[in-house]
Structure 1
Amino acid sequence: MSRTDVPRKLKITAPLTIGSALVLLVVAFALSLMVGPVTVPLADLGTNPVVTEIRAPRIIIAALVGAALAVSGAIMQTVFHNPLADPGIVGVSSGAAVAAVLAIVTGASFFGQWTIPFSAFVGALITVALVYLIANSRAMDGRGADPATLVLVGMAITAFLGAVISAATANAPQDSELRSVTFWLNGDLVSRTWEHVGVAIIPIIVGLILAIGGSRDLNLLLLGESTAQTSGLNVNRARLILLALAALLTATAVAVSGTITFVGLVVPHLVRIILGADHRALLPTAALVGASFVIISDTIARMIFSPIVLQTGVVVAFIGSPIFLYLLLAMRKRRGLGL
C-alpha cells in the first residue's frame, strides 16, 4: 500500500471498523455483567450488588488490561520492526512477575493488599530501566539504541528473570504461597475491586491517549529510520517515548491482573488484516478489540466450568495461541507466494 492510499482506505473502512469494535465492546461488557452463577436482568444491572460490587470492577479491569496490552503490542511491533514483538519483549512482564513472586514468597506486606501490585509495578519499571541501560550503550555517542539490540537484551533478561522465578517458586516455604504464585503468573482477575480500578484507570487511559497521539510518529517509523529522519522526526527520542508509554501501559496492566499473554501479539495482527498498518486507526481499534478479547475470555473463564473458575490468562492463552499460530502460518504462506 502506498502512502497516498492510506487516507483513502481510512475514510472507507476505519469508521465502520472502529464503530463495529465499539459495538462489540459494549455488547461484551453488558453480557459479561449479566451472566454468571447468578443471572442478572439487563434492567437491574445498575442496582444489583452482585454487579456493582463484584462483576463491574472485574470487567472494567479486564477491559483496561486488554486495551493496554493490545496497544503496547502494536507499538512494540512497529518500534522494533518485529511482528513477533509483544509487551514482554523488553522484560516488562518478567520484571513485574519477579517482584510479585518475591513479595508472595517472602510474605512481604508493607502496603497491605497493595503490596503485590505495587511490587509488580516497580519491578516492571526497574527492568525496563535496566534494559535501556544495557542496550542504550550506543546512545553515549548520539547514535541511540538499535531495536534489534533492545530485543536481544530484553530476551536475555527475560530468560534470567524466569530462572529467578523458578528458583523462588521451588523454595516457597508453604504450599499456599506456591498456589498464589501460580495463579498470579497465569493472570487472574478474581477479587478485583474498585480500588484496583482506581489504581489502573488513570495510567492506562492517559497512556492510551498519548499512544494514539503518537500515531504520526509510528507511521513515520514504519517507513524506515532514514525516511523518518528526513521527514523531521527525531527517531531516537520518538522511539524512547513510545517504548516508555508501552512500558507504562504493560506495567500497570500486569500490576492489577498478573501475567496475561498473547493479547499484544494476536490483536494488532487481526486489526492490521482489516485496516492495514496506519496507526491512526490501528491503535484505537486495537484498544477496543483488546478490551473485548479479555472481557470475553474472562467471561468464558467464569462460566465454562461453573462453579469452577478458570484463570483469565489461561483462557486467553487457549484462545490466543491457535489464532496466533494461524496468523503466523498465513503470513509465511503469503510470503512464499510473493504476496
Structure 2
Amino acid sequence: MNKKIINAMLVLGMTAGLAAGTCTSAFAEEAETEEARGYRFTWVNPIVGLEYWSIAEEGMAAADAKYGTDTQTVGPTEINVDEMVKQIDAAVAAQVDGIITMALDPTALGPAIQRAVDAGIPVVCIDTDAPDSARSYYAGTSNYDAGFQAGQTMAEMTDGKAKVGILMGGINASNMVSRVEGFKAALEEYQDMEIIVTEDTNADLLIGTQKAQAMMQTYPEMTAIFGTSSTDAQAAGKVAEEMGITDQYCIIGFDDMEDTLNYIREGVVDATTVQKPYEMGYLGVELLVQTIEGNGPEEQVIDTGVTMVTADNVDSYKE
C-alpha cells in the first residue's frame, strides 16, 4: 500500500511548539475531556527514564486528559529489543485496548505487532516506523530527512571541508541507521567532507563520553562530530570542554536536551536537530482513539518534522 508522508500540523489543523516540561502548542489548549472513554493503552517505551521519552509521555498524558483514556508505560531502561517484544506480548495478554511503541528494530517487532493486531488490538508507532508491519499509523520524524538536514547544516558550518566522526546511538537501531544514511547522502555533495570513524554509544551518555574521548585522542585530524541520539552531542561537548578543545570541532546532535541547549549557548555545540516528542506522544494516543472509533486520517504516516537549533534561535525556536 502506498503511504503518503504528510505534515502532522496540516492533518490536525494546528500549530505546534515543543517545550520540555510544558507545551505551548495547540495540543495543550484542548483542556476539556470529550468523554471518559475508559480505553486502556500500553506504551512500550524503548528506554524508560530517558528525558526525550519523558517529554513524549507528557504528550500522552495530555491526550489521556482530553480523551478520557489511560496510558501506562512499560519497557526496558536500556536498549533491549527482546524485552520490548515481551512487553508487547504482555500487553496483548492483558487485553489492553491499544498499544503505542517505537520500532527500534522493525524486523524483530513486526511479528509482535502482528500478534497484537490479530488479537484485535491496534498498534501505533511513534518516532520510528515499522512500515511493513500491521501497525495502523506512524507519527514521528522522517529520520532520513532529519539526518540529511543535519548533514547540510554541518557542511554549511564547515564551509564544506571536514573530517567527521559519528557517535551513533545504536548501531543497528533503524532510526539511527536512517539518520546516518540521510547524513551521508547530504555530504556526498561535498568532496572535502569525509566520515573517518563511526562509534556506537547505545544512546548512553557515559558510553558516549568514553567513545567521544577515544575518538578525539585517536583521530587528531577529526574536525567535526555528528551525534545521532539525544545524549551524543552532550557527550562530545562534555569531552571537548573538559579537554579545552571546543574550538577544534563542529558538533551537531539530535534533540533539545537542556545540556545540549546550554552547550549551544556556550558555543560548545554548534547545532542540534530538534524533534517533537510531545506531539508524537499526543498523536500516539489520539490515533489509537480514532482507530478504535473508526475515524482516523486516511494517511498512515504523519511527519511531525524537525527544527535545526543553533545559537541564532536557541532561545526562540519554541515560539
* Same-fold status (TM-score > 0.5): no
Structure having the higher strand fraction is: 2
Structure having the higher helix fraction is: 1
TM-score (norm 1): 0.29
Could you say which structure has the greater relative contact order, defined with CA pairs below 8 angstroms and 6 or more residues apart?
1
